[in-house]
């Protein structure tokens, strides 16, 4: 396993949830983390926590990653200030309550596709030149269980966007492996993050406690980032042990057998 001391990481969606946990975990290993997201106050709170911990350090670069120009400005600030980019955690994402086909509207489609897929492309496109120049780098993208399995909970726009992110990550390995760049896409099942508050029926503390926790994802991000340069973990599918999708399937099967 490689050391992350002195490495530079850019984390999007770093103000909460998986992004925050990933940034904290990387900093604890000695990395300098650049935190991006829309909410400057949330980013500054995460940075203060990291900088007070005595590990690596955090810098705040707020940006709406659905805007290509804003993403480009952050990438340029990293290049000018740090001179390199070793780790990208491409984590920003969103969903909406009105997500089924019967309730979905054009503005909702735009919000979900831009927030989960277009933004991810912008961040990759802005990061690649630095990684190509140094002939090294690892990209870690937060997709979803919905990026591998189609189901009713996440909604069609989110499912389509996350499937697109999975495909995007694999195309990076296809084209950029010869440049020493590695891409990993994470497909987690339910993670106890604020995005779940956008579900039509918000989760309870009891159900959230059974889910994957953000800190679990932070540890996974560090594990991937510390792999030696000759190792690429292409994809990780991870779920809570208490998998409600599986449980519902088995309950339906049992009910059918009783009929």
Q: Nearest 5°: phi and psi at 257?
A: -70, -25
CB contact at 8 A, 100 and 155? yes
> Which band of pLDDT confidence, cut at 50, 70 and 90, is reported for residue 220?
very high
pLDDT at 252: 85
Of 122, 149, 158, 246, the active-site residue reads 158
Q: Does 142 score more than 70 pLDDT? A: yes
**Is residue 197 scored above 80 in pLDDT?**
no
CA–CA dist 31, 9 (Å, integer): 7
| Closest among 65, 58, 145 to 73, alpha carbons compared | 65
Q: Residue 88 in 3-state DSSP?
A: strand
- Domain spans of the chain, in order of start: 8-258
* Structure confidence at residue 198 as a pLDDT band (50, 70, 90): low
Element (H, E) at 112: helix 106-113
pLDDT at 22: 98
- CATH class held by domain 8-258: alpha beta
Structure confidence at residue 54 as a pLDDT band (50, 70, 90): confident
| Percent helix, percent strand, percent coil in the chain, to nearest 5 | 50, 15, 35
- Whether residue 248 is predicted with pLDDT greater than 90 in this model: the reply is no
- For residue 158, indicate whether it is catalytic: yes
Which of left, alpha, beta for 3 (phi over 0: left; psi -120 to 50: alpha)?
A: beta
Could you read off the pLDDT of 82-136 as tens digits, one per residue? 999 999 999 999 999 999 999 999 999 999 999 999 999 999 999 999 999 999 9
């Amino acid at each position: 396993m490689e050391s992350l001391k002195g490495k530079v990481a850019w984390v999007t969606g770093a103000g909460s949830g998986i992004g925050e946990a990933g940034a904290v975990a990387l900093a604890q290993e000695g990395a300098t983390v650049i935190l991006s997201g829309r909410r400057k106050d949330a980013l500054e709170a995460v940075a203060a926590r990291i900088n007070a911990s005595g590990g690596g350090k955090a810098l705040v670069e707020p940006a709406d990653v659905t805007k290509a120009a804003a993403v480009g400005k952050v990438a340029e600030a990293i290049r000018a200030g740090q001179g390199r980019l070793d780790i990208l955690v491409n984590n920003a994402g969103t969903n909406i309550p009105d997500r089924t086909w019967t309730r979905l509207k054009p503005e909702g489609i735009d919000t979900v596709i831009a927030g989960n897929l277009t933004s991810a492309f912008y961040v990759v496109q802005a990061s690649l030149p630095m990684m190509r120049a140094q002939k090294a780098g690892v990209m870690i993208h937060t997709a979803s269980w919905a990026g591998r399995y189609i189901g009713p909970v996440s909604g069609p726009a989110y499912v389509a966007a996350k499937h697109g992110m999975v495909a995007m990550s694999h195309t990076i390995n296809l084209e950029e492996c010869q440049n020493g760049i590695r891409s990993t896409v994470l497909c987690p099942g339910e993670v106890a993050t604020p995005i779940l508050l956008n579900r039509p029926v918000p989760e309870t503390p009891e159900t959230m406690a059974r889910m994957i926790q953000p800190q679990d994802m932070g540890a996974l991000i560090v594990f991937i980032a510390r792999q030696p340069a000759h190792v690429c973990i292409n994809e990780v599918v991870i779920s809570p042990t208490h998998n409600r999708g599986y449980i519902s399937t088995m309950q339906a099967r049992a009910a059918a057998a009783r009929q």
